[in-house]
Amino acid sequence: SFSGQCCTKCKRGHVKSIDCPKTQEHCVPCKCGEEYMDHINDLDECMRCRSCDKALGLEVVKNCTSTENAECSCAKNHYCNSSRCEHCESCTVCENGQIEKECTSTSDTVCRMQVKRKVNNYTTQGNTAAADTGKVHSPETLRLIHIDVDLTHHVPDIVREMTLEQVMTFVRHHRLSEPTIEETLLDNSNNTSEQKIKLFQKWYQKHGMGGAYETLICSLRDLKMRTAADKIERKLKAAVCSHQERRESYNDKTEQSNTCSQEGEKCYDDNAEISKTYPESLEET
């Protein structure tokens, strides 16, 4: 009631146009495709339709009408195992290409384990991976390439291959908050390069090192940024392999140095022993 008057409630798909409707003529329809009202009501505003954002891995299953909200589900190659999905994660891509269980809308891909075998004194899995030089790297390097590269020192090189718009799409895809994005852009308003670096660093700090490289490359490809993904992948693989080669070279030199030192000590010990055994002979010499 309104000031002692009996008011009429509006039917689904409509809201009141005056404080106290007398008939349904005092109710106005919601804008189809933009607004809806799914119950009898005495409200003066319709509810906004749900947005199935592609950047969040969603797609429309059922369009919004004046009486029903839109229905979303995970897009192809995405999944969500939560009861209420606000966004969907990208399905895992099996490194070896062997799948135990396909990705579904509610569960991630399960990759098949491979039998380990020996390659040039290293234990590895699946096909032999080699750098451009043809050199086989240790499994530590291969794991770093695919999973846990520390991206901290590579951020400028990574974002150099992306436009500001691409960086913003990427961080939004991974739910970096709009206030954080706006603040970062304002703090570096006169420097696009710095804006890209700072935005990426915000995401990396939020995500953590574990699996960040794989998330980066897979997400860029899912977001149709394949050229950027390929360039970044080549850069980081080259950087990791170069680091591994330098480390192996350093280890080889250290081992040689230790061997020479040990041989020198042995020679010294042998001479000392001879000196003890034949002191007179050595003095005459």
Q: Give per-residue pLDDT as tens, 14-50.
A: 999 998 998 999 999 999 999 999 999 999 999 999 9
Other Cβ atoms within 10 Å of 196 Cβ, number: 25
pLDDT, one tens digit per residue, over 62-81 is 999 999 999 999 999 899 88
pLDDT at 148: 63
**pLDDT for position 269:** 53
Whether 116-285 and 1-73 are alike in CATH topology: the answer is no
The CATH superfamily holding the domain 116-285 is: Death Domain, Fas (1.10.533.10)
3-state class of 174 per DSSP? coil
pTM flag (> 0.85):
no
pLDDT tens-digit series, residues 230-267:
999 888 888 877 766 666 665 655 555 555 555 555 54
Chain-wide mean pLDDT for the chain?
78
Domain positions in the chain = 1-73, 76-113, 116-285
Is the pLDDT confidence value at 130 over 70? no
The secondary structure element, H or E, covering residue 280 is helix 279-284
pLDDT computed for residue 110 by the predictor: 86
Assigned CATH class of 1-73: mainly beta
Lowest-pLDDT range of 1-5, 140-144, 192-196, 242-246:
140-144
